[in-house]
Amino acid sequence: MSLQILNTLTRTQQEIIPRGGLGHTLSLYTCGPTVYSYAHIGNFRAYVFEDLLQRHLQTRGFIVRRVMNITDVDDKTIRGAVAAGISLAEFTQPFKEAFFADAQTLRLLRAESYPEATDPVQIARMMSMITTLMERGHAYQAEDGSVYFRIASFPNYGKLARVDLEGQRPGQRVASDEYEKEAVADFALWKSWVPEDGGVGWESPWGKGRPGWHIECSAMATGLLGETIDIHCGGVDNIFPHHEAEIAQCECAGHGVAPFVRYWMHCAHLMVEGSKMAKSQGNFYTLRDLLAQGWTGREVRYALISVHYRASLNFTREGLGAARTALARLDAWFLRLTEAAAESATSDPPDQSIEGFFTALDDDLNISGALAVLFETVRESNRMMDQGMLTPAQARGLLEWYGRVNGVLALEPDQSADQLPVEVQQLLDDRAAARSAKEWKKSDELRDQLAALGWLLKDTKDGQRISKS
């Protein structure tokens, strides 16, 4: 069976074929974090789903080029920096570092690149896209100095979210990055500077200002992956307005032949007691909160990965408890199987039926089907070991299969080095905050405290790197 996914654009299940044909590179763009605070595990549900997708694609032989952006300028980051009385870069830096640390704790594969919206190269590209949109009549500068996308100029607007353009009031405009699904309105491409923006702003042909969130992703995605991207992912809340706006911008500023994205994939929300986990609701947990409560990164990964990405997932302690139980079962089985295989250098291929793990994932990442095959295999081989019926060569064959399975799931037990103790992570976070506030003395003291605990720190251009001394 071919690898198929449900495309949000067509609402149908489709085989994934790279633009250049099978065997060619597959481009994947995933909307990344807005670094105005720690990402919550709802955000990480989206990233874990994207990680499962990337790993399964690679297991199936696709050559994946993935880009994930970092939104380090938008309404929320500016508000945060101004409130803290520090520069935007100082404000966002600790949250960037925290994001990468959390991603590592959750075992997310690294993307090929993580472009940042404030990078001068990216800002220049955003401006050039806006210029093209204005030249082609798709954008205009309003009395408030901001530049807006004219949605009436793009008949396909609404095709992804299937929002109804009927009854839309022409000339309605929104400057905010996020707005309600019903609001079909011209959205800001370039927001003219206002005093509340403090020191944040770039000179442009339309005066001092800053880019809108949607144009940031459009510019970074097409700048790094080309005018047509194979797969673009995010959470369902990204469909409208964010992804709809990305389509409008890219298809109007591009060469007009190919679609911006060939396959759209969106994961459902992580819920808490019936509501979406969101910072604005105050009902969120960060990964740090959970680690401090004694859960591990791999337990959280399991809890997030084990429910199909399009099913809404209610986040509960029972869910984490179930993850812990499932992992203990896998660990015990793996150990037993390793002992059983010790005497054999050769392996017998297992029954073909257990390839069902991978064929389930081929079917729109059917993780429930895949885990059912895994746990049925655990049950059956445990039974055979109980009865002394599993040969060492069969055990080795199963271990090899599990190696491939784990290449997708990444659930192996923690190596002590890849899980930082909570107090060490806290000291690292405090030091990152001290450094952005230019509190060098405090930063040095924190380094000394880490050294006293046996950890060696190095400051690199990507942030702090820590190792056991």
The residue ranges that bind Zn ion (CB under 5 A) are: 31, 217
Question: Using the rule CB under 6 A, is 269 a contact of ligand AMP?
Answer: yes
Pick what 42 binds: ligand AMP, Zn ion, none; C-beta below 5 to 8 Å, kind-dependent: ligand AMP
Task: Determine how many CB atoms are found less than 10 A away from the CB of residue 441.
Answer: 8
Phi then psi for 429, rounded to 5 degrees?
-65, -45
Q: What whole-number distance in Å separates Cα of residue 165 and Cα of residue 449?
A: 59
Smallest distance, Å, CB 414 to ligand AMP? 25
- 149, 184, 154: which is closest to 169 by C-alpha? 184
Burial class of residue 183 (count of CB atoms within 10 Å of its CB; 0-12, 13-18, 19+): middle
Pick what 276 binds: ligand AMP, Zn ion, none; C-beta below 5 to 8 Å, kind-dependent: ligand AMP
Rounded to 10 degrees, the C-alpha dihedral 270/276/281/286 comes to: 0
Of 45 and 191, the one with the shorter C-beta distance to ligand AMP is 45
Of 31 and 185, the one with the shorter C-beta distance to ligand AMP is 31
Smallest distance, Å, CB 214 to Zn ion? 7
Place of tokens 């594969």: 109
Cis peptide upstream of residue 241 (ω within 30 degrees of 0): yes
Q: What whole-number distance in Å separates Cα of residue 150 and Cα of residue 380?
A: 61
Pick what 125 binds: Zn ion, ligand AMP, none; C-beta below 5 to 8 Å, kind-dependent: none
Pick what 46 binds: Zn ion, ligand AMP, none; C-beta below 5 to 8 Å, kind-dependent: ligand AMP
Pick what 103 binds: ligand AMP, Zn ion, none; C-beta below 5 to 8 Å, kind-dependent: none
Site map (CB under 6 A) of ligand AMP, residues 214-253, x = contact: --------------------xx-xx---------------
Q: What whole-number distance in Å separates Cα of residue 15 and Cα of residue 156?
A: 24
Of 115 and 297, the one with the shorter C-beta distance to Zn ion is 115
68-101 burial, b for 16+ CB within 10 Å, e for fewer?
Answer: bbbbbbbbbbbebbbeeebebebbbbbbbbbbbb
Of 74 and 362, the one with the shorter C-beta distance to Zn ion is 74
Question: How many chain residues touch ligand AMP (CB under 6 A)?
Answer: 17
Question: Using the rule CB under 6 A, is 431 a contact of ligand AMP?
Answer: no
Question: Using the rule CB under 6 A, is 66 a contact of ligand AMP?
Answer: no
Contacts of 432-439 with C-beta under 8 Å, sequence gap 24+, read: 432/93, 432/94, 432/97, 432/98, 432/463, 432/464, 433/94, 435/93, 435/459, 436/86, 436/89, 436/90, 436/91, 436/93, 436/94, 437/86, 437/90, 438/90
- 361, 266, 263: which is closest to 14 by C-alpha? 263
Of 219 and 428, the one with the shorter C-beta distance to Zn ion is 219
Of 2 and 316, the one with the shorter C-beta distance to ligand AMP is 316
Pick what 235 binds: ligand AMP, Zn ion, none; C-beta below 5 to 8 Å, kind-dependent: ligand AMP
3-state helix, strand, coil in the chain (%, to 5): 50, 15, 35
Place of tokens 């597959």: 26
- Chain positions 13 to 42 lying near ligand AMP, rule: CB under 6 A, are 31, 33-34, 42
Of 99 and 154, the one with the shorter C-beta distance to ligand AMP is 99
Question: Using the rule CB under 6 A, is 381 a contact of ligand AMP?
Answer: no
Pick what 217 binds: ligand AMP, Zn ion, none; C-beta below 5 to 8 Å, kind-dependent: Zn ion
Pick what 270 binds: Zn ion, ligand AMP, none; C-beta below 5 to 8 Å, kind-dependent: ligand AMP
List interacting residues with ligand AMP (CB under 6 A): 31, 33-34, 42-43, 45-46, 234-235, 237-238, 267, 269-270, 276-278
